[in-house]
Amino acid sequence: MLYQPKKILVTGGAGFIGANFVHFWLKNHPNSRIVVLDALTYAGNRANLVAVESQENFRFIHGDIRDFDLVLSLLQEEEIDTIVHFAAESHVDRSIHGPDEFIDTNVIGTHVLLKAAKKVWLDNLQTPRPHRFHHVSTDEVYGTLRPEEPPFSESNQYAPNSPYAASKASSDHLVRAYHETYGLQVTTSNCSNNYGPYQFPEKLIPLVISNILDGRPLPIYGDGLQIRDWLYVDDHNRGIDLVIHQGKIGETYNIGGNNEWTNIEIVKLICRLLDEKFATNEEMKKRFPYAPQVSGSMAESLITHVTDRLGHDRRYAIDAGKITKELGYCPQESFETGIRKTLDWYLDNEGWWRAVMDGSYRKWVELNYSQNT
Ligand code: NAD
Ligand code: DAU
């Protein structure tokens, strides 16, 4: 039977995937109401939601998922029936340099949400209120794959390697436990690497785009032969939408694009696509005077191999067979179309990435990565 959410609390809705989710959802389900709860960390940006800010069925709350009283009052006051939980510290490198915030937000924060949801939807009620708690998680909880191993399926054992992955694994276990113990109606999705608009330029794809345009080195960790399975962000949100409406309570669904690339291949592809843009558009040279193409070089000249990430997972790949078979999931974007769309978005939204990069992010990179950038 289809579940029909009416009033949704989206945590982390000002971040990359959360903001894309809000746009995706309000476009496809204009009759539902969305309340975003976001702490606006370095990764959260209210500008990501400007297009929906004035809609009556949208509300933004600047607040922390660790604030139990705030979460409880929001669930009650807004009569929320569905939580879609994106809020997290999400960058692996940051978790290596400073794991505490990852434990606080990803583990404690998720637990606060679960406690508040249980109190409002289950406690002291003869009949539980119709509700759903959808937890957005990652393929990194499964650890790393050898080249010959099959992609991760939902039955793979958890083996998280970074503090980020371990914090997400812990949150997955808490979500499961609240279902098994208290009967909270939960679903979880574990997705592979996303790319697309509004991704903070500390992650590989937007970092490479912005660094080429400004003529900065392209840091490749180690040999660059690590493999990730890339999915366009709307296709991730399409999967979440299916799980919310049709997913079985208590189940986990892997979401991925069957699209494995080594990091160096991705970087070279972006280099080639930007070289083509510069070769066919004189205006680009005026806009980005520090790009290597302006002085007759190719973007690949910026590639710089740097010290590898500690505990770097060699390969991730998702087997999306379960969501495909059970819920009819099918990504709509090919990598060819998705990466071109993404490139165009960053070219059309130069103001956005410059604004998010000239704040705390730059200072953090200088402190932690002076050898790499
Ligand atoms: P992001 O870092 O871009 O955004 C995270 C958002 O959460 C930001 O808006 C931030 O302000 C907010 N936030 C952080 N701490 C908070 C707190 N304590 N209270 C309230 N809000 C807080 O992350 P993303 O890449 O959009 O990832 C979203 C979710 O998807 C995460 O749970 C992540 O683990 C998961 N995920 C990400 C990917 C990926 O490739 N990016 C893949 C699979 C799963
Ligand atoms: O797999 C899903 C995960 O994907 C999500 O859970 C995480 O939130 C998300 O950040 C992403 O994690 P990765 O560590 O895979 O993404 P990142 O963009 O940081 O790195 C992608 C690959 O590129 C990884 O192998 C490290 C490498 N890399 C990254 C950066 C930023 C480089 O070689 N150089 C770089 O400068």
Q: State mean pLDDT over 99-116.
A: 98
Which of 131, 136, 132, 114 is closest to 181 using CA atoms? 114
- 109 Cβ closer than 6 Å to some ligand 1 atom: yes
Q: What is the pLDDT of residues 120-156, one digit of tens each?
A: 999 988 888 899 999 999 999 999 999 999 999 999 9
Please give the pLDDT value at position 373. 34
Which residues make Cβ contacts (< 8 Å) with residue 253, sequence separation at least 6? 154, 187, 188, 189, 190, 239, 243, 247, 322, 323, 326, 327
Give yes or no for residue 96 CB within 6 A of ligand 1: no
The reply to whether 139 belongs to the active site is yes
CA atoms within 13 A on the CB side of 66: 12
Residue-averaged pLDDT of the chain: 95
Residue 359's pLDDT is 67
Tell me the average pLDDT across 229-247.
98
Q: Residue 268, Cβ neighbours under 10 Å: how many?
A: 17
pTM for this predicted structure:
0.97
> What percent of the chain has pLDDT above 70?
96
Q: What is the pLDDT of residue 372?
A: 41
| Fold annotation for 7-198+230-257+316-332 | Rossmann fold (3.40.50)
Q: Is the CB of 46 under 6 A from ligand 1?
A: no
pLDDT at residue 205 greater than cutoff 60: yes
From the list 3, 164, 232, 316, the catalytic residue is: 164
Q: State pLDDT tens for residues 36-74.
A: 999 999 999 999 999 999 999 999 999 999 999 999 999
Q: Provide mean pLDDT across the span 352-362.
A: 79
Supply the residue whose CA is at minimum distance from atom 25 of ligand 2. 226
Q: Model confidence over 275-316: pLDDT tens digits?
A: 999 999 999 999 999 999 999 999 999 999 999 999 999 999
- DSSP code per residue over 103-142: IIIIIIIHHHHHHHHHHHHTTT-SSPPS-EEEEEEEGGGG
DSSP structure class, residue 94:
H
188 Cβ inside 6 Å of ligand 1: no
Looking at the chain, the whole-number percentage of residues with pLDDT higher than 90 is: 93
Average pLDDT over residues 242-254: 98
Kindly report the protein residue whose alpha carbon is nearest to atom 7 of ligand 2: 90
- Report how far ligand 2's centroid is from the alpha carbon of 273 (Å): 21
Question: Which mutation among 10, 17, 40, 106 tests ligand 1's pocket best, with the greatest number of atoms within 8 A of CB?
Answer: 17
Taking only the tens place, the pLDDT of each residue in 150-187 is: 999 999 999 999 999 999 999 999 999 999 999 999 99
Distance 173 CA to ligand 1 centre (A): 18
Query: Using 50, 70 and 90 to split pLDDT, how confident is the model at 357?
Result: confident
Q: Work out the average pLDDT over 106-112.
A: 98
Mean pLDDT value across residues 345-361: 87
Domain ranges of the chain: 7-198+230-257+316-332
pLDDT for the residue numbered 219: 98
154 is catalytic: no
Sheet of 58-62: strand order equals: 58-62, 33-38, 7-11, 82-85, 132-138, 186-191, 252-255
Pairing outcome for strands 193-195 and 186-191: unpaired
The pLDDT value given to residue 128: 83
Active site residue 290: no
